[in-house]
Homo-oligomer: A and B are copies of this chain.
């Protein structure tokens, strides 16, 4: 689990560095299209990060909730997945 957490934090550190790189590009008047290509790369890195978080969430929290006898636990877990899914497509 700790390895998993380290992996996630390292991904975020890499994204943070990437964002700082784009600050430099803006500052040095880089070509707009090159800037947009870089923010797109960040978006992709965030999506990969999200997939890993969701995978962990499904294997742990959601599995526990759905296997529980509490109907409201199960509903909450399912509604949260639907919320994430809808939001990710907006």
Contacts and interface: CB of A to CB of B under 8 A. Distances in A.
Interface residue range, chain A: 35 or more
A40 to B, nearest CB: 5
B86 A89 contact: no
Nearest to A87: B40
Contacts of A27: 5, 9
Interface in A29-80: 29, 31-33, 35-37, 39-40, 42-43, 46-47, 49-51, 53-63, 66-67, 74, 78, 80
Interface of A: 5, 8-9, 12-13, 15-16, 19-20, 22-23, 26-27, 29, 31-33, 35-37, 39-40, 42-43, 46-47, 49-51, 53-63, 66-67, 74, 78, 80-90
